[in-house]
Structure 1
Amino acid sequence: MTPQTWVEEATEEELIEHILNRYHDTHRDQLPEMIRLAQRVERVHSGHPDCPTGLSAHLEAMQAELENHMAKEEQILFPMIVRGISGMARGPISVMRSEHDDHAAALARLEKLTNQLRLPEGACNTWRRLYEEIGQFRQDLRDHIDTENNVLFARIDGLSA
C-alpha cells in the first residue's frame, strides 16, 4: 500500500494519530534546532550581504504560531472529530484553514529571507545545515497542511454538508 493510499483509506482517528506523530511532533523537534542554527548564522555572518537577517526572529514567530495552532487542533478540533461531532467541527475547521493560509504566507516570507534557500558561495557548514533543515521543514509543513485540508478536513466537510 502506498503512503497516499494509506492516507486515503485511514480512519479519521488513524489519520489524526498520523498527523500528531508525523507532523506535530516533527515540527516541535525541527523549529528549536532551526532557530539555534539561524541565530548562529546571523551572529557569525552579520556582515555578509546574503546573511538571512531576521530569520531567527521569523522562525521564533512561526514556532509560536504553529504551537498555538497545533494546541487548538490537539485540544479542541481533533477530540471533536474522534468523538464524531463533525457538524460542530465546521467552525474550528474554518479557523484552521485560515491559519493554514497564514502558515503559507509565513513560508513565503521564509523563502524571501533565505533567497529561496540559495546558499552564497563558500557558505559554512552551519549555514548549509540550516538551509537543509529549513528545506525539510518547508516540505513537512506543506505536506501537513495538505493532509489536513485535502484529506481530513475535506472528509469532515463532506460528512457535515
Structure 2
Amino acid sequence: MTFTITANSLVRDIVNELPKASDIFKQNRIDFCCGGNIPLAHAAAQNGLNLDNIIEDLKAVFEKYENAEKDVEVWTDSDSQTIINHVITNYHRVSEEELTMLSPYVTKVSRVHGEHHPELVKMNELFYEFKKELLDHMVKEEEIVFPLIKELANGTARNPEEAIKLIVELEKEHDHAGEILRQIRAVTSDFTLPVDACGTYRLVFARLEALESLTFMHVHLENNILFPRYIAN
C-alpha cells in the first residue's frame, strides 16, 4: 500500500481511507466532519498550519498503522522473547493508544445519535467493557504471565504448573474479549452505517472494525504461536 495523501486530498476522504488521521486533525482543530469537504491545503491555510508538517504527521500515522506486519506466520520460528517483545510493542502499546484516542469519539456518537439509534448506547457500553477487559488483560500479561513464559522458555520456572494455569486463564480472557467484539459487531449490524451517519459516526465504525482486526491478530500470535509451546491444545 502506498501513501497517496496530497495537498489536494479532501479532508473527509483522508479520514475515510485512514481513520486514525482524525487524531491529527483533532489536534490541529481541522474539522473533518461537517467541514471535511475541502482540500487539505485549504484546511491547513484556514487554521494557519504548515501543510508540509501536516502531511508528514499523516505519513507517520500511515506508516505506523497501515504498514504493520501482516504475515504473522513469520513469527512461528521466532523465539518466545522476540514474540513477546513484538506483542508488547505492536499490539499492547498500539491498543492502549487506540483505546484512549477512540473513547471520546464513541461517547460522542452515542450521546449525539443515541436517541434515534439506540443500538449506539449498547455499543458504547460494550466498548467500555472491552476497554477495561483488554487493558487489565495486557497488564496481567506484561507484569505476571510474560515473565513466567520467559522462565518456562529458559528452564528456570520454579512452578511450571502455575505458569501453565495462568496461560490457560489468558486464553479464556481472549475468548471473553472476542465475545464482546462479536456483540459490538452484532449490535452495529456488521458496522453498517445508516443514511444519516455523520463523519464522526463513520469514523467510529471504521476504527472499531480496525480495533477488532488488531485484537484478532494480537490473540492469534498468542493463542496459535506463543502459548501452544507451553500448553497442550
Q: Aligned partners of 2:149, 2:114: CA distance in 1, in Å?
A: 47
SS in 2 for 1:52: helix
Q: Aligned partners of 1:135, 1:3: CA distance in 2, in Å?
A: 19
Aligned to 1:105: 179
Name which of 109, 114, 135 aligns with 1:41: 109
| Contact 2:171–2:223 (8 Å) recurs in 1 | yes
Aligned to 2:194: 120
SS in 2 for 1:120: coil
Q: Aligned partners of 2:184, 2:170: CA distance in 1, in Å?
A: 21
Aligned to 1:61: 129
1:129 aligns with 2:197: no
Q: Aligned partners of 2:120, 2:82: CA distance in 1, in Å?
A: 39
How far 1:60 sits from its partner (Å)? 1.4
Aligned to 1:6: 74
Higher helix share: 1
Q: Aligned partners of 1:63, 1:4: CA distance in 2, in Å?
A: 24
Name which of 120, 140, 148 aligns with 2:214: 140
Moved more, 79-88 or 39-48: 79-88
How far 1:48 sits from its partner (Å)? 2.1
The alignment's C-alpha RMSD in Å is: 2.0
| Contact 1:23–1:140 (8 Å) recurs in 2 | yes
How far 1:104 sits from its partner (Å)? 1.1
Q: Aligned partners of 1:54, 1:105: CA distance in 2, in Å?
A: 14
Aligned to 2:89: 21
Q: Deviations over 1:99-130 (max 9, x none)?
A: 11101111111112222100111311101110
Aligned to 1:87: 160
Mark the structure with the bigger radius of gyration.
2
How far 1:82 sits from its partner (Å)? 1.5
Closer, same or farther in 2 for the Cα pair 1:5/1:112, shift >3 Å?
Answer: closer
| Contact 1:58–1:110 (8 Å) recurs in 2 | yes
Letter in 1 for 2:219: I
| Contact 1:34–1:59 (8 Å) recurs in 2 | no
SS in 2 for 1:118: coil
Q: Aligned partners of 2:91, 2:98: CA distance in 1, in Å?
A: 10
List 4+ stretches of structure 1 deviating above 3 A.
2-5
Tell me the TM-score normalised to structure 1 length. 0.89
